[in-house]
Amino acid sequence: MGSSSPTQTLLLLLIGLTVFISASADPDNLQDLCVADLSSGIKINGFPCKDAAAVTSADFFSQGIANPGLTNNTFGALVTGANVMTIPGLNTLGVSLARIDYAPGGLNPPHTHPRATEVVFVLEGELDVGFLTTANKLISQSIKKGDVFAFPKGLVHFQKNNGRVPASVLSAFNSQLPGTQSLGATLFGSTPPVPDNILAQAFQTSSGTVKHIKSKFQPKK
**Of 70, 148, 183, 202, which lies in the binding site for ligand NAG, with binding defined by CB under 6 A?**
70
5 is an interface residue for ligand NAG by CB under 6 A: no
126 within 8 A of 162, measured Cβ to Cβ? yes
Nearer of residues 70 and 202 to ligand NAG, judged by Cβ: 70
Going across the sheet that includes 167-173, the strands are 77-82, 96-102, 167-173, 118-124, 148-151
Nearer of residues 73 and 141 to ligand NAG, judged by Cβ: 73
Task: Give me the phi and psi of 89, to 5 degrees please.
Answer: -65, -15
219 is an interface residue for ligand NAG by CB under 6 A: no
Task: Give me the phi and psi of 20, to 5 degrees please.
Answer: -60, -45
Taking contact as CB under 6 A, which single stretch among the options 37-45, 69-77, 123-131, 173-181 is the one that binds ligand NAG? 69-77
Taking contact as CB under 6 A, which single stretch among the options 7-15, 44-52, 65-73, 134-142 is the one that binds ligand NAG? 65-73
**Of 57, 72, 136, 204, which lies in the binding site for ligand NAG, with binding defined by CB under 6 A?**
72
71 within 8 A of 56, measured Cβ to Cβ? no
Residue nearest to ligand NAG as judged by C-beta position: 72
Closest C-alpha among 156, 206, 161, 160 to residue 186: 156
Query: Which residues here bind ligand NAG, judged by CB under 6 A?
Result: 70, 72-73
